[in-house]
Amino acid sequence: MSETTICRAFAPATVSNVACGFDVLGFAVNEPGDVVVARPRSRPGVELVEVTGDDGRLPRGAERNTAGVAVRALLDATGCDRGVSLSLHKGMPLSSGLGSSAASGVAAAHAANQLLGLGASQEVLLACAMAGERVACGSAHADNAAPSLYGGFVLIRAADPPDVVPLPVPEGLACAVVRPHIEVETRASRGLLGDTVPLKAAVTQWGNLGALIAGLFRGDLELIARSLEDVVAEPRRAGQVPGFAATQRAALDSGALGCSLSGSGPSIFALCASLAGAERAAEAMATALEGEGLASDRYVSGVGTEGVRLLPAEG
Amino acid sequence: MSETTICRAFAPATVSNVACGFDVLGFAVNEPGDVVVARPRSRPGVELVEVTGDDGRLPRGAERNTAGVAVRALLDATGCDRGVSLSLHKGMPLSSGLGSSAASGVAAAHAANQLLGLGASQEVLLACAMAGERVACGSAHADNAAPSLYGGFVLIRAADPPDVVPLPVPEGLACAVVRPHIEVETRASRGLLGDTVPLKAAVTQWGNLGALIAGLFRGDLELIARSLEDVVAEPRRAGQVPGFAATQRAALDSGALGCSLSGSGPSIFALCASLAGAERAAEAMATALEGEGLASDRYVSGVGTEGVRLLPAEG
């Protein structure tokens, strides 16, 4: 546990829910992601000295920003009375369904943990990032924070305390994400779900979830493709994204294994057998959204097996 | 495809639901099971000439008995106009939650398929057994028929048409079943479930189901143990079995990985890390039921990786 004078950590964006895994499944992409720089501070406590890439929209107070809250939780959990100064560089859009707040919290906790040589375990770092999520989203779910931390595909068996099950990622698996230029609030989007699920839909969902996990273990892309269906959240949320059905159809027609909302949307993801396939899917999805009069950003990336990591401390 | 003058098939009992896999998961035990003997018949069609082991309670007409219906479906599916004469020897109690009707249908379809050299695939045999299930239970679920046919642990991704995903079975896994001397009708038991599930319970269930499947692939018995929890069906059905809670507690205290209702009950199963552990669990469970004034039968068996199979044609 060495102390350095600066630690820069990168935490990747994540796709949660993954069609059939509402609140229990997520995966990390290789990019984009958030970068947090942690520096020692002369006084105890956490300060947030800089936020870039958010167009000035995130809270600047460390106690209201997910990065600051995560580091505060880390200091409390480890009984550390030293101080940390944070700079947060957002590499992805806010409220887009890509786990933006989770990535900030994960990057911040990891950077501070390394800076101060605290030696906190991944379980502790996850709890700290979830404390940040609670401030950002009103509830603490691990399905973005855990894959951003661990990388790859991750199952959240139970949320409180988190029981995280890392899953294998088939060789070559890639992801296309399009973000239409509209915003969806996670809180509002959760409200659309209601409190109950038809038993028949629940059975369909757990059949698909089980099969998706079996498909990941086997590297069986056809089984994965058959499983990527959401009969619980997508039917209630897709109406928030104009052109969702056409976009999904375009992704599947381009050869994608599956396509659904990323998290609570509005971003739409497609899982593909290769990077080239993900390029095709992104193109097809963006074109479909354009047809609905919606501009969008595109991200194409391998599905990372690496989670949060340190970057060279040049900045 | 050779024709023989007699074919005897054994199909094992099965535990469906398996705590967290309501309607989508099941596994086969090595014993008990049903035996069906198929012989050529001079006239076309199916006749059921003998049923033993049922205390005279099953329908004798081939068109109302699950074994006869399964074979009728097989002849129709393969366009066969020859005739089959069946003898059904029940090796397990009726309406006990051990997949009794599924085992009869699977054994009958397999025996007739072999007898007549029809070469029907496992998918076709499953559809035939499910036709039998429809007559016996009023609805066609594959979560008993599929594991009785394929052996091992089986996930039913989708029911119609069935999409069956065989799963690995960790070395040494064993099962204890106690059947209290009461009966539960599958139809009545389904009625207790209602039409909806709280969203929170559904999320818990698919987290557990996903983790159970990951645990089976990894051979991670601790993960399997954490996952064997039913927050959907068991809470609504356990009241049908006096002493269920005490019996479950006894199984877990004896070291079982998990314990829940077998199918819709009244049988109670415990999954264990070894045959010796399953013996201990069966003893503990039977003692607990006795404490509630209930006699019971016990079955202890490895979790089979073999499904339906031919027996020597001596009988």
- A195 neighbourhood in chain B, CB within 8 Å: 198-200
Domain enclosing residue A108, as ranges:
7-167+304-311
Do A133 and A217 reside in the same domain of the chain? no
- A25 neighbourhood in chain B, CB within 8 Å: 210
Do B253 and B276 reside in the same domain of the chain? yes
Q: Which pair of tokens denotes residue B283?
A: 């003893």
- B226 neighbourhood in chain A, CB within 8 Å: 157-158, 163
Residue A263 located in a structural domain: yes
Q: Which of A155, A203, A204 sits opposite B210 (nearest CB)?
A: A155
| CB within 8 Å: A163 and B210 | no
Q: Which of A158, A200, A208 sits opposite B207 (nearest CB)?
A: A158
Listed as ranges, residues in chain B with pLDDT below 70 are 1-4, 185-186, 314-315
Do B99 and B74 reside in the same domain of the chain? yes
CATH of the domain at B13: 3.30.230.10
Residue B2 located in a structural domain: no
Do A182 and A289 reside in the same domain of the chain? yes
What mean pLDDT comes out for the span A85-112?
Answer: 94
Q: Which of A163, A202, A214 sits opposite B197 (nearest CB)?
A: A202
How many domains does the structure of chain A reveal?
Answer: 2
Query: Distance from A271 to chain B by nearest Cα, in Å?
Result: 19
Residues B263, B256 contacting (CB under 8 angstroms) = no
Residue A94: pLDDT band (50, 70, 90) is confident
CATH of the domain at B279: 3.30.70.890
User: What confidence score (pLDDT) does residue B17 get?
Assistant: 95
Q: What pTM does this model have?
A: 0.94
**Portion of chain A with pLDDT greater than 90, in percent:** 81
Q: Hey, which residues does A14 pair with through a beta bridge?
A: A28
Q: B230-270, pLDDT tens digit by residue?
A: 999 999 999 889 899 999 999 999 999 999 999 989 999 99
- B20 neighbourhood in chain A, CB within 8 Å: 206
What mean pLDDT comes out for the span A26-48?
Answer: 95
| CB within 8 Å: B213 and A208 | no
Interface membership of B171 toward A (CB under 8 Å): no
Q: Which of A196, A206, A217 sits opposite B206 (nearest CB)?
A: A206
Residue A32 located in a structural domain: yes
Q: How far is CA A251 from CA A25, A33, A209, A215, A221, in A?
A: 21, 23, 21, 20, 16
Do A91 and A43 reside in the same domain of the chain? yes
- B193 neighbourhood in chain A, CB within 8 Å: 199
User: What confidence score (pLDDT) does residue B138 get?
Assistant: 75
Residue B145 located in a structural domain: yes
Do B102 and B188 reside in the same domain of the chain? no
Residue B1 located in a structural domain: no
| CB within 8 Å: B207 and A24 | yes
Closest residue, chain B, to A232 (C-alpha): B199
ipTM, two decimals, is 0.93
Do B153 and B207 reside in the same domain of the chain? no
C-alpha to C-alpha distance for A53 and A50, rounded to whole angstroms = 10
Do A111 and A155 reside in the same domain of the chain? yes
Q: Which of A24, A198, A204 sits opposite B203 (nearest CB)?
A: A24
Do B17 and B109 reside in the same domain of the chain? yes
Do B154 and B230 reside in the same domain of the chain? no
| CB within 8 Å: B210 and A22 | no
Do B87 and B160 reside in the same domain of the chain? yes
Residue B69 located in a structural domain: yes
Q: A48-65, pLDDT tens digit by residue?
A: 999 999 988 898 999 999
Residue of higher predicted confidence among B45 and A159:
B45
Do A251 and A295 reside in the same domain of the chain? yes
